[in-house]
Amino acid sequence: MTATNLTDAAGARRRSLSLGDAAREFVRHPSPWMLGGLFIASVIARSVAGDWQDTDALVPAIMLAVFPVYEWLVHVFILHWRPRRIGPLTIDSLLARKHRAHHRDPRDVPLIFIPWQALIWVFVSTVAIGIFAFPRLGLGLTFIVLSSGIGLVYEWIHYLVHTDYRPKTRLYRAVWTNHRMHHYKNEHYWFTVTTSGTADRLLGTYPDPGTVPTSPTARALHGVSD
């Protein structure tokens, strides 16, 4: 499926959006400010802590290498969680409910972002891991810097793909096409957001689009309507 076909599948574009216009809308939402705040605070804390060692370069290399797989796992097992009943209880997280709503209307801008309620718990766990799971504070702060920075980049790319901003580079067009196929072609494939053909190739969800049928549940995950 070509980028043009995907544009048609998604409906006519409302207008041509500049990068500046997209950025102005981006900063109107909570998660960029929350992630940006944590990133700035952790950069300051890391600078004050000092104690720079070779392993501070190793942490970013490892995190960037594994992030596409982490992104894939979260998308498949948390965001695409199918509601389950255990007796009288329904197990269905906020993230899964919001993601189903995002699939129903991929152009609804607030639904593009990580819910701020979930982000609070992400922050608590990230800081706890950074402080308690590393052999020295400086290394843990490096982890927090990278985690918040990667999160901010993820939010920007995911948001931008769902706007009317037109791809201008080959790299961004690949990412744009990859995620659009997930939403408008078949929700069972193309789970990465910030990259194209990385973890999806590794984990078997990067087929030839021409061989994949258009899914009737791409807009209604699992056939569930909340």
User: Tens digit of pLDDT per residue, the chain (226 long)?
Assistant: 444 444 444 444 556 789 999 999 999 999 999 999 999 999 999 999 999 999 899 999 999 999 999 999 999 999 999 999 898 888 999 999 999 999 999 999 999 999 999 999 999 999 999 999 999 999 999 999 999 999 999 999 999 999 999 899 999 999 999 999 999 999 999 999 999 999 999 999 999 999 999 999 999 998 776 6
Give how far the C-alpha of residue 69 lies from the chain's centroid of Cα atoms, to the nearest Å. Answer: 12
206 lies in some domain: yes
pLDDT at 186: 97
Task: Specify whether the CB–CB gap between 98 and 115 falls below 8 A.
Answer: yes
- Residue 98 belongs to domain spanning: 57-115+146-223
What does the DSSP assignment read for 14-72? S--B-HHHHHHHHTTSHHHHHHHHHHHHHHHHHHHH----THHHHHHHHHHHHHHHHHH
Global pTM?
0.90
In-domain check, residue 181: yes
Examine residue 26 and state whether it is found in any structural domain, yes or no: no
Domain for residue 159, yes or no?
yes
In a domain, 44, yes or no: no
Does 97 map to a domain?
Answer: yes
User: Measuring CA to CA, which residue among 115, 144, 112, 98 is closest to residue 30?
Assistant: 115
Query: Would you say residue 24 lies in a domain?
Result: no
pLDDT, residue 17, reads 85
What six digits make up the tokens of 219? 């807009």
Give how many domains the chain has, as a whole number: 1
| Residue 104 is assigned to a structural domain of this protein | yes
